[in-house]
């Protein structure tokens, strides 16, 4: 899988559901502040087979010479999708036609043309199978019921399904952000960073351990910045974290453990959905967080908890890398008032959705000095390779 944080990809449930309109709207919005490369990908199942669009087709499939072809659009006056992208303000627009089985080679060749760091907006369903973009949106119309096969294959990857009524979208495009050349989406949710623990196993404050010249908690804030409406720091020592520029929420009752910290933060939160993360998880997969938020919305779950399978098939859950709905506060207060402090005691009183993480190598908890030193060295090695 090719990871491209500088690419925003747009798929669609079917044809004529507003995919190109959405791409053009985003190009118009972001081309004012920098160059945006437009991309359209047409995947061909069989070069000489039946046209996937029905009827006799347009000759796209039969005219392909080789396993892929990349052409640049220069005419912004026609009604072709590529021309519309150019007319919307894209600095350059490319059309990749590629046999489905050669998508990886086609994607690599396309990157050779535009450059791996080029900020781009790409129309495609199938390319999502070989490229992991910074953001993946899918468009559908109000009356879209059946999804075409290429859309069904990648629907699970969608960060957001945007519905078009023919004149607009059910989504505020101002929530799309381009920060330091990387696409992200500002969720209507609050992020809560838990920084009030005693760090007993570490022997020192984990949140303030340096990693590549930044405190660990600052590293986490940088990853979350721009992705949420609100960021809160759960900690009793407010002055320690003023340099971060975010509101610090102290525990209502000190020394009651992380459950009290979560409950206090939920009470201060301005949003119904809240992503809670411990300050000892230095790397965050934002795509994973978006999916948990989406699952909370779709299932109306009070809590969404990721689970991982480790040795001997034992399943572990991550309550300090989870989504909590604000109405779970009642159950939390009930548990706390009974003298209990375990987060898991709340689960029986709430609707909980467990989400299995198929690959969670990035999800690292740093609890000991040895674990910190190992992580710090890996980060330094990665930074050296990138220089």
The helix (run of H) or strand (run of E) holding residue 311 is none
Domain spans, the chain: 2-185, 187-381
Token pair, residue 383, equals 């930074």
CB under 8 Å to 318, separation ≥6 — which residues? 305, 306, 307, 308, 363
Whether 2-185 and 187-381 share one fold: the answer is no
The tokens 């969720």 sit on which residue?
Answer: 187
Provide the pLDDT confidence category of residue 202 given band limits of 50, 70 and 90: low
- The pLDDT assigned to 29 comes to 96
Average pLDDT (341-364) is: 86
- Indicate if the pLDDT at residue 198 is higher than 70: no
Contact 149, 53 (CB under 8 A): no
Backbone torsions φ then ψ of 296, nearest 5 degrees: -65, -40
Q: What are 265's two structure tokens?
A: 């933060």
Given a cut of 50, whether residue 339 has pLDDT beyond it is yes
Q: What is the pLDDT of residue 68?
A: 93
Res. 51: pLDDT tops 70: no
Classified as helix, coil or strand, 320 is: coil
pLDDT of 144 strictly over 90:
no
Cβ atoms of 146 and 167 closer than 8 Å = no
Query: Distances in Å between the alpha carbon of 184 and those of 133, 235, 283, 289, 290?
Result: 10, 27, 16, 12, 10
In terms of Cα–Cα distance, which of 248, 242, 257 is closest to 200?
Answer: 257
Q: Where are the alpha helices (DSSP H) in 226-328?
A: 258-268, 286-299
281, 236 Cβ separation under 8 angstroms? no
90-94, 187-191, 283-287: which has the minimum mean pLDDT? 283-287
Is the Cβ–Cβ distance between 216 and 301 less than 8 Å? no
pLDDT at 385: 55
Task: Determine which of 120-134, 220-234, 350-364 has the lowest per-residue pLDDT on average.
Answer: 350-364
> Which of 91-95, 169-173, 225-229, 365-369 has the highest mean predicted lDDT (pLDDT)?
91-95
* 209: helix, strand or coil: coil
Please report which confidence band the pLDDT of residue 109 belongs to, taking 50, 70 and 90 as the band edges: very high
- What is the per-residue pLDDT for 53? 46
State pLDDT tens for residues 233-255: 999 888 899 999 999 999 999 88
Tell which CATH classification among 3.90.1690, 3.30.200, 3.40.50, 3.10.620 matches the domain 2-185: 3.40.50
Fold exhibited by the domain 187-381: Spore Coat Polysaccharide Biosynthesis Protein SpsA; Chain A (3.90.550)
Rg of the chain over Cα atoms, rounded to whole angstroms, equals 23
DSSP 8-state assignment for residue 169: B
Task: Single out the residue of 191, 205, 323, 199 nearest to residue 265, CA to CA.
Answer: 191
Residue 289: beta bridge partners? none
Q: Which helix (H) or strand (E) holds 380?
A: helix 369-386
Closest CA to 150 of 67, 41, 1, 65: 41
Q: Which pLDDT band holds residue 315 (cuts at 50, 70, 90)?
A: low
Name the more confident of 166 and 117. 117
Distances, alpha carbon 137 to alpha carbons 73, 154, 305, in Å: 23, 11, 24
Check: CB of residue 137 under 8 Å from CB of residue 10. yes
3-state secondary structure 21-44: HHHHHHHHHHCCCCCCEEEEEEEE
- Overall average pLDDT of the 7-30 stretch: 94
Reported confidence tier of residue 368, pLDDT bands at 50, 70, 90: confident
The whole-angstrom separation of Cα 209 and Cα 203 is: 11
pLDDT computed for residue 55 by the predictor: 44
Query: What pLDDT, in 10s, does the model give residues 249-300?
Result: 999 998 899 999 999 999 999 999 999 999 999 999 888 899 899 899 888 9
């Amino acid at each position: 899988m090719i990871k491209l944080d500088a690419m925003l990809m747009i798929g669609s449930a079917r044809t004529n559901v507003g995919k190109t309109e959405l791409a053009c709207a985003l190009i118009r919005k972001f081309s004012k502040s920098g160059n945006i490369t437009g991309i359209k990908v047409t995947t061909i199942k069989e070069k000489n087979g039946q046209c996937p669009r029905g009827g006799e087709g347009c000759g796209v499939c039969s005219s392909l010479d080789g396993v892929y072809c990349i052409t640049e659009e220069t005419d912004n006056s026609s009604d072709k999708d590529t021309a519309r992208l150019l007319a919307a303000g894209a600095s350059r627009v490319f059309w990749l036609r590629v046999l489905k089985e050669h998508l990886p080679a086609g994607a690599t060749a396309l990157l050779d043309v535009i450059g791996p760091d080029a900020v781009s907006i790409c129309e495609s369903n199938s390319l999502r199978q070989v490229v992991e973009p910074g953001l993946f949106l899918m468009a559908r119309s109000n009356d879209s019921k059946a999804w075409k096969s290429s859309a069904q294959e990648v629907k699970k990857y969608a960060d957001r399904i945007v519905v078009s009524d023919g004149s607009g979208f059910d989504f505020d495009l101002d929530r799309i952000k381009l920060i330091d050349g990387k696409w992200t989406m500002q969720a209507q949710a609050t992020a809560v960073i838990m920084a009030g623990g005693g760090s007993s196993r570490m022997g020192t404050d984990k949140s303030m351990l340096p990693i590549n010249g930044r405190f660990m908690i600052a590293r986490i804030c940088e990853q979350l910045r721009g992705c949420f409406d609100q960021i809160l720091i759960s900690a009793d020592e407010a002055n320690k974290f003023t340099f971060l520029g975010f509101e610090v929420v102290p525990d209502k009752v000190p020394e009651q453990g992380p459950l009290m910290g979560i409950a206090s933060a939920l009470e201060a939160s301005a949003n119904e959905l809240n992503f809670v993360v411990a300050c000892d998880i230095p790397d965050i997969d934002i795509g994973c967080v978006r999916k948990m938020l989406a699952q909370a919305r779709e299932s109306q779950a009070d809590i969404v908890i990721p689970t991982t399978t480790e040795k001997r098939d034992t399943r572990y859950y991550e309550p300090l890398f989870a989504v909590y709905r604000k109405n779970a506060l009642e159950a939390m207060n009930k548990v706390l008032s009974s003298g209990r402090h375990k987060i898991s005691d709340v689960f029986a009183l709430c609707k909980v959705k467990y989400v299995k993480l198929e690959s969670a190598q990035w999800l690292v908890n740093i609890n000991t000095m040895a674990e910190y030193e190992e992580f710090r060295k890996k980060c330094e090695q990665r930074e050296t390779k990138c220089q």
